[in-house]
Chains A and B, each alone.
With several copies, the nearest count.
Chain A
Amino acid sequence: MPYDLDFERPVAELERRIQTLQRRGERMRPDDRAQVATLEREVQRQTRELYRSLSPWQRVQVARHRHRPQTSDYIRLMCDDFFELHGDRRFGDDRSIMGGIASLDGRAIMLIGHQKGHDIKERQECNFGMPHPEGYRKALRLMTHAERFHMPVVTFIDTQGAFLGLEDEQRGQSQAIAENLLVMARLRTPIVATVIGEGGSGGALAIGVADSLLMLENTFYSVAAPEAAATILWRDASFAPDAAAAMKIGAPDLRDMGLCDALVPEPVGGAHRDHEMAAAHLKAALNEHLDELTRVPTAILLDRRYAKFRNIGVYARPVPATVD
């Protein structure tokens, strides 16, 4: 996979040099081979370096990388079985949110995630990962299904946001998101949400009210997409990098603020460089959190979840919040 992001240009240059040397094939001399080895080590070193200190905007670019693994990729790589369920039983089947019953090391879970699509055809079918109300209502149906059968819910967040269209307003985009927030807050089964790419606004939160919120380390989660925030704040979407920095949207920021419960490591150079390893890390993290959450009695689980969200917020002269 080529290095194709702006800030990866130095590494891309190294790669080009490696390729030039390798094109000699059998005509490669011993010192050429030595140079290739050196360059490859340098690629590794520089990649590691770059990704160790991603700027907020760089992180946004990595999180949106078009080769980043998506919900369907993780399902394929992590689950021993997956039975996809379709439709909201009301209006339609929105492919920007996929979901079904999965087996994760023998544990039955309800797996629900945004799907952006890989090639242009799938991307269009998935509306580029921007759900309509029926997508959220499908997710809602699957979550109450999971509750009935005592399956933990695992969600994968990867969206720019809910789709903004006239028909979405007609069918109640606000209502659909709001209802999910309430139902998830009170769902009588464990919920683990993971930001696997972009965490965009209410459209992300609508499948993100969880006992544990995980984030892959190169992802972000924001109250509004940086472009939208820049437009709202400064009426100019080109200030998106400034918005990304000012709003502290990176996974490490959210962990530091206590909003994200755990970071999931990515392969060097981002999840898109090694889907298998990304999936292995994610699977390990999910199993760890599910092991713990499924041991908690439901009433306590719900009280904990309530307290978790109840206590989010920073204000001055705070009177200690009490949750019974």
Chain B
Amino acid sequence: MRDESQPALEAVSQNGSSAVATARPLPTNLAVKCPNCRELLVAKDLEKNVKVCQRCGHHFKLSAWERIQLLTDPDTFKEFAEELRSADPLSFVDRTTSYARSVADKRAKTGLEDAAVVGRARVDGLPVVLAVFDFNFIGGSMGSVVGEKLTRAIEMGERERTPVIIVSASGGARMQEGMYSLMQMAKTSAALGRLAEAGVPYISVLTDPTTGGVSASFAFLGDVILAEPGALIGFAGPRVIEQAIHQRLPADANTSEFVLAHGMIDAVVHRRDLRAELARLLRLYRAAETVAH
């Protein structure tokens, strides 16, 4: 898990003072500095452009609910497993705070119960089971709640023969739940194994960032794997690798484009096309399903 203190959005108010923003809608009077091209963008325009920098195409992080809104038909998303809560199984006490307090903080700040939201929905009329990460919640890290939610989503897809889409944005496993977190990698992968045996499609969408235990489990197990442009994708982050091998990495290392070039994913898809591309895939799978059954 890389719980980067770097905020999802670096917001600068028009009078020049800096403020950390969550990924929720910004006050319209703000300007936002693009972390890639340094352009000052009007927040309202940025929102309209699905949070993609109009100048350089940088994809800002989306919250789980923004992502759901982007991808699903209006009013079709029906959340489930929303009652699950972290239980602090190790009674984990940090050097400065406790896991319980961190979770409470993040809940208050994000309005989420944990780092993933799962539900049924429709995309261009076609039914899907959708799971979406939110990086704002402890770096999108996967503990027991996230693992359980994803597993229930995958099992629902299997049971109802409905395609599963998981949109990842995560630094990896959640340290504060120790081995329970690591084992969620096995748990979700096992569920995907049964989904594959049942011949139900699973589309994995990688967004910035997808690393660690999340990338090394369900995220890289998609029948089709898509990624948003410029996302950090890899087992380790570039800084970790640089420390390990004592070398500077090329600038494009561990980006979406890098993993595409190395044969690890199927396509890099611009955010504005993502919904249409998913719909196209879903229609093709549905055509295959119709013939087969």
Contact = CB atoms under 8 A, between A and B. Distances in A.
Q: Do chains A and B touch in the complex (CB under 8 A)?
A: yes
Interface of A: 81, 83-94, 101-103, 106-108, 134, 138, 145, 148-151, 162-166, 168-175, 177-179, 181-183, 185-186, 201-202, 205-206, 208-209, 221-224, 229, 232-234, 239, 242-243, 246-249, 254, 257, 259, 294, 305-306, 309-310, 312-319, 321
Interface of B: 1-3, 81, 83-87, 89-90, 92-96, 144-145, 147-148, 151-152, 173, 175-187, 189-194, 196-197, 199, 201, 212-213, 215-221, 223-224, 234-236, 240-241, 244-245, 247, 249-250, 253-254, 258-267, 277, 280-281, 283-285, 287-289, 291-292
A309 B183 contact: yes
A310 B259 CA distance: 30
B187 to A, nearest CB: 5
Nearest to B218: A178
Nearest to B148: A313
B180 A169 contact: no
Contact of B173 (A86, A178, A224, A318): A224
B175 A224 contact: yes
Given A257-B179, A312-B180, A103 B287 contact: yes
A306 B194 contact: yes
Given A90-B263, A208-B186, A246-B94, 9 more contacts: A83-B280, A94-B263, A108-B287, A169-B253, A202-B216, A209-B190, A312-B183, A314-B144, A316-B85
B123 to A, nearest CB: 15
29 contacts: A83-B277, A83-B280, A86-B263, A88-B263, A91-B263, A92-B261, A93-B262, A94-B263, A107-B291, A148-B196, A164-B240, A165-B245, A169-B259, A172-B264, A175-B264, A177-B216, A177-B217, A178-B220, A202-B217, A223-B178, A232-B175, A246-B92, A306-B190, A309-B183, A312-B180, A313-B184, A314-B180, A315-B145, A316-B87
A181 B185 contact: yes
Given A149-B199, A310-B190, A201 B175 contact: no
Nearest to B288: A108
Nearest to B147: A313
Given A169-B254, A259-B179, A181 B267 contact: no
Contacts of A242: 95
Contact of A185 (B86, B189, B288): B189
A146 B185 CA distance: 23
Interface centre among A86, A182, A206 (most CB of B within 10 A): A182
A88 B260 CA distance: 10
B182 A201 contact: yes
Contact of A249 (B147, B178, B201): B178
Contacts of B254: 169
A316 B144 CA distance: 10
A164 B244 contact: yes
Contact of B179 (A174, A221, A234, A318): A221
Contacts of B83: 317, 319
Contact of B197 (A172, A186, A321): A186
A190 to B, nearest CB: 11
Contact of B87 (A88, A89, A315): A315
B236 to A, nearest CB: 4
Contact of B85 (A170, A312, A317): A317
A175 B89 contact: no
The 8 A-B residue pairs with the shortest CB-CB distance in the complex, in nearest-first order: A87-B263, A150-B292, A185-B190, A313-B144, A181-B189, A314-B89, A108-B288, A108-B287
Contacts of A169: 234-236, 241, 253-254, 258-259, 262
A162 B235 contact: yes
Given A166-B241, A177-B235, A249 B179 contact: yes
A96 B77 CA distance: 41
B191 to A, nearest CB: 7
B262 A202 contact: no
Interface centre among B3, B194, B254, B260 (most CB of A within 10 A): B194
Nearest to A189: B292
B144 A181 contact: no
Contacts of A221: 179
A248 B87 contact: no
Given A166-B241, A186-B197, A306-B190, A222 B180 contact: no
Nearest to A247: B178
Given A93-B263, A150-B199, A169-B236, A232 B287 contact: no
Contacts of B215: 174, 178
A106 B287 contact: yes
A209 B181 CA distance: 14
A248 B190 contact: no
A254 B220 contact: no
B216 A178 contact: yes
Given A223-B182, A313-B184, A175 B90 contact: no
